[in-house]
Amino acid sequence: MLNIPVYKPFLCDLEEKYVNECIKSNWISSRGKFISKFEESFSNYLGIKHSTTVSNGTVALHLALHTLGIGPNDEVILPTLTYVATANSVAYVGAKPVFVDSDRDTWNINPEKIISKITKNTKAILVVHLYGNPCSMDKIMEICEKYKLLLIEDSAESFGSKYKGVYMGNFGNISTFSFFGNKTITTGEGGMVSSSNKELVNRVAYLKSQAVSKEKEYWHDELGFNYRMTNICSAIGLAQLEKADIILQKKQKISMWYQKFLKDFDITFQKSEKDCVNSFWMVSILMKNEKDRDNIREYLKARGVETRPLFTPMHTMGTFKSNETFPIAESLAAKGLNLPSYPDLKEEDIFSISEVIKKYFESI
């Protein structure tokens, strides 16, 4: 019986060393040398000028939208097929999320379907590079320019992905990242807000720390938040960043092995556009239909392989439920699953998972 989780972080001695430094020096809260080091190294790695740490990817989005001045009466265009935090952040600032269907191949927001959703109240497009797969940035940036819209990149899942040679996070007016335990690089819980605009990032840094005055103690000019990251989390983040190349290379191999071993089965992989590098946060596939997807998940689970279904489209549930239909997103969500994708997976692990999948196909 296999025992393969869908994800686990890739930690080693360096994380332990840096965390111990925090503990030994007593700098365990949201001040300390690792915070600025992590922010600078992160910016340098991705080639984005400015970055500020926050406590998770959800508040990163909230602060990004808030800092851009998006609020009540504004509309924000985003994909319906995303993690709930993307849509929640729009609701947090009192704006209206306007959902768009997915592209059949990339599973990202379909740029062709954006224009019909633009109204006089549209303020921004919030893109998500789903499971690490870069969005159609040329088309999306052209729309933003033409209609004078702000662009926000929710890069929570796309650390290390590239579009035409440029790391994701470099295209938006502002971009956000998540470092949750299952992300490509992790800090346990954590996030980052990045931009080439220094003023924007400085303002995020000010707001994340209760909007406290630099000149006067306990003086707060406006509504602020406690969305800071701790020195301990930054210490883990810095250690992760130092081996980011290795993690990203491992993930390329994992995707290659899956494609090699699963090429003869009735499975569809998420496709990338030309000149894109998917970092493969999660290697994801589609089955023929929902029943087949549920059956293969059960079959794998019974043999010790954990998988995840794709996200549930936002317009089908809870706060964001509407009568609109988005057939592509609905179909992808029904048929799709994430395969184990953690960096430490070896070729023999992927082979074993593929053998289980092979037996599943033989059994039906």
Ligand X SMILES: Cc1ncc(COP(=O)(O)O)c(C=O)c1O
Which residues here bind ligand X, judged by CB under 6 A? 56-58, 82-83, 85-86, 128, 154, 156-157, 178, 180, 191
- Amino acid at site 47: G
Single out the residue of 331, 330, 327, 351 nearest to residue 339, CA to CA: 351
How far is residue 49 from each of residues 2, 39, 43, 340, measured CA to CA in Å?
Answer: 44, 10, 6, 33
**Nearest distance from C-beta of residue 61 to ligand X, angstroms:** 6
Spatial distance between the Cα atoms of 218 and 301, rounded to a whole number of angstroms: 53
Tell how far CA 74 is from the center of its chain.
24
**Nearest distance from C-beta of residue 159 to ligand X, angstroms:** 11
Cβ atoms of 176 and 64 closer than 8 Å: yes
**Nearest distance from C-beta of residue 283 to ligand X, angstroms:** 15
**Nearest distance from C-beta of residue 153 to ligand X, angstroms:** 10
Between 82 and 161, CB nearer to ligand X:
82
Between 7 and 257, CB nearer to ligand X:
7
Spatial distance between the Cα atoms of 275 and 270, rounded to a whole number of angstroms: 15
Could you give the residue ranges of the DSSP H alpha helices within the chain? 13-25, 33-46, 57-67, 84-92, 137-147, 198-208, 231-242, 244-261, 290-302, 327-335, 347-363
Q: Which residue is nearest to ligand X (CB)?
A: 57
Spatial distance between the Cα atoms of 45 and 108, rounded to a whole number of angstroms: 25
Between 79 and 111, CB nearer to ligand X:
79
**Nearest distance from C-beta of residue 270 to ligand X, angstroms:** 14
Run of H or E including 80 = none
**Nearest distance from C-beta of residue 34 to ligand X, angstroms:** 18
Helix axes 198-208, 57-67, angle to 10 degrees: 120
Between 82 and 354, CB nearer to ligand X:
82
Helices (H) and strands (E) in the chain, counts: 11, 14
Cα within 13 Å of Cα(258), Cβ side = 22
**Nearest distance from C-beta of residue 78 to ligand X, angstroms:** 10
**What SS3 class is residue 353?**
helix
Between 86 and 122, CB nearer to ligand X:
86
**Nearest distance from C-beta of residue 294 to ligand X, angstroms:** 22
Between 126 and 357, CB nearer to ligand X:
126
Between 56 and 230, CB nearer to ligand X:
56
**Nearest distance from C-beta of residue 157 to ligand X, angstroms:** 5
Biggest distance spanned by C-alpha atoms of the chain: 71
Between 173 and 338, CB nearer to ligand X:
338
Spatial distance between the Cα atoms of 272 and 357, rounded to a whole number of angstroms: 23
Between 69 and 181, CB nearer to ligand X:
181
Spatial distance between the Cα atoms of 310 and 335, rounded to a whole number of angstroms: 8
